Structure 1
Amino acid sequence: MQRASRALLAGLLAATLSAPVLADPAAELAERLSVRGESMPVESVTATPLEGFFEVRLDNGETFYSDSSGRFFLVGDLYENADQGLVNLTEQARNAERAERLAMIPEAERVIFRGAESRAVVSVFTDTTCPYCVRLHEEVPALNERGIEVHYLAFPRGGMGAQGARELQQVWCDANPSEAMSRVKGGEPLEGPADCDNPVEAQYHLGMELGVQGTPAIVLPDGRLVPGYVPAERLVTMLGLDD
């Protein structure tokens, strides 16, 4: 009886070890995706609730959907018709990615304004030559009083050859970047260098990858992107802090 049991267990183990490993459809699709014989710069492939279709994210931040064969593509947002209404699953994924990538930026590479209390953090892609950025900056003290930290990231809207790029580099090169940011947004020219090791260009490209098209661009803690100027009181409400 014991011999038979051992033989049965040995047979099951051998069958398990010899069984074919199930393929990973997402990984296979990532290797298969190509256009005219040239491989796509795929960053990730993930399954979706839509059976047989996968979300494909490219290195440049673009997203589309593909069937498992890589023959048919869908470009646009994927929605779920849920009990609470239409839910934009594509935007949810974008938000999660924004939050994750911004969390990787160390505080030393941000220009931070915070008050005595911290209840929330908003990241703001900004430009020194943007009038609405100046207007938002004027409300930073009010935001700080309500417990909202403002973390500035650089986004020279005219590109790296523009005046804003140089001024942002001067801000980041200053011994006190927050004071330099306030001075330049108050209309005071900066005299300091712009050629130190700074993150301005890297943040500019990151902003484009995350969907920033202009300034100011406010990213909420959950990764939602809010383009343009938002009054302090409205931002407080959006963050659920108006109690």
Structure 2
Amino acid sequence: MRRSFPVLAGGVLAALSLPALAQDPAIAQLTEHLEVDGQKMPVKSVEETPLTGFYEVRLETGERFYTDVQGDYFLVGDLYENADDGLVNLSEKARNAERAERLAAIPDDERVVFRGTDAPKARITVFTDTTCPYCRHLHEEVPRLNEMGIEVDYLAFPRGGMSSQGGRELQQVWCADNASEALTAGMRGETIDGDASCDNPVEEQYHLGMALGVQGTPAIVLPDGRLVPGYVPAERLATMLGLNDQ
């Protein structure tokens, strides 16, 4: 199973030794022996698809594609189901499930959390940057979101990279004694007290965001894993979460 595939080559040259992920011999074969240019691909998982004879391959790099059982042919793109109620993006559903799973694994002490006094009805995760104007605009609406029962959990995503102003400020936020106050100060353009030298998760969250498809800020992830790029007004977010119907 040796094929030249330049589109994926940049992300698949590392060789990993992984156990078979399922009892299906085809899945085990693809997991252990899928190669490009003689190099094992860093396969994270292989799953069956509704398309007979084709499998979804997910790499450690986050890339996804589809292949036949021999690994002779690759399809790169989204797989849709032509359902009775319209087209369903099965690839995006899988990405949503992965986002929800990976975000659920982040402990509360690595988030900057804003919640109201009552038990929340829904929780959103926002990848943010203190230097981002639309992040600041969204942060102004956090009190209203909390009033509507929406908890806002922030994760760091310095859009200019770790060495940017945002990268430094976000590390200061996560190192602060009161991270929520520090984040609010940063969103207001105020000086954030403290340094950025503590052991903090900012860089890890930055790379996680990229792996989950975040390309800018704010990036809002709904409870089901749907990624909503950019600023969304509070009332519209409540509608997307089904809270205005209650």
* Fold in common (TM above 0.5): yes
Distance (whole Å) between structure 2 residues aligned to residue 48 and residue 75 of structure 1: 14
Find the counterpart in structure 2 of residue 121 from structure 1.
123
Find the counterpart in structure 1 of residue 222 from structure 2.
220
Q: Give SS of 2:32's match.
A: helix
CA deviation map 1:179-206 (0-9, x unaligned)? 1001111111113010101000000000
Find the counterpart in structure 2 of residue 194 from structure 1.
196
Aligned length: 222
Find the counterpart in structure 1 of residue 113 from structure 2.
112
- Residues 114 and 146, structure 2, Cα contact 8 Å, conserved in 1: yes
How do 1:29-178 and structure 2 match up within 5 A? Answer: 29-117=30-118, 118-178=120-180
Distance (whole Å) between structure 2 residues aligned to residue 42 and residue 163 of structure 1: 36
Distance (whole Å) between structure 1 residues aligned to residue 56 and residue 87 of structure 2: 19
CA, structure 1 residues 32+171, in 2 after alignment: closer, same or farther (shift >3 Å)?
same
How far did residue 23 of structure 1 move?
5.0
Which structure's CA Rg is the greater one? 1
Amino acid at match of 1:226: V
How far did residue 24 of structure 1 move?
2.1
Distance (whole Å) between structure 2 residues aligned to residue 213 and residue 56 of structure 1: 23
Find the counterpart in structure 2 of residue 238 from structure 1.
240
Distance (whole Å) between structure 2 residues aligned to residue 172 and residue 60 of structure 1: 26
How far did residue 221 of structure 1 move?
0.1
Find the counterpart in structure 1 of residue 187 from structure 2.
185
Amino acid at match of 1:42: V
Distance (whole Å) between structure 2 residues aligned to residue 154 and residue 165 of structure 1: 8
Distance (whole Å) between structure 1 residues aligned to residue 24 and residue 62 of structure 2: 26
How far did residue 116 of structure 1 move?
1.7
Q: TM-score, normalised by structure 1?
A: 0.90
Distance (whole Å) between structure 2 residues aligned to residue 141 and residue 31 of structure 1: 50
Percent of aligned positions that are identical: 70
Find the counterpart in structure 1 of residue 7 from structure 2.
none
Q: Which runs of 5+ in 1 are unaligned?
A: 1-21
Q: Which runs of 5+ in 2 are unaligned?
A: 1-22
Stretches (4+) displaced over 6 A: none
Q: Give SS of 1:116's match.
A: coil
Q: Give SS of 1:191's match.
A: coil
CA deviation map 1:187-242 (0-9, x unaligned)? 11113010101000000000000000000000000000000000000000000001
For the aligned residue pairs, the C-alpha RMSD in angstroms reads 0.8
Distance (whole Å) between structure 2 residues aligned to residue 48 and residue 170 of structure 1: 45
CA deviation map 1:50-102 (0-9, x unaligned)? 01000000111110000000010000000000111100000000000000000
CA deviation map 1:6-28 (0-9, x unaligned)? xxxxxxxxxxxxxxxx8521111
Q: Give SS of 1:181's match.
A: helix
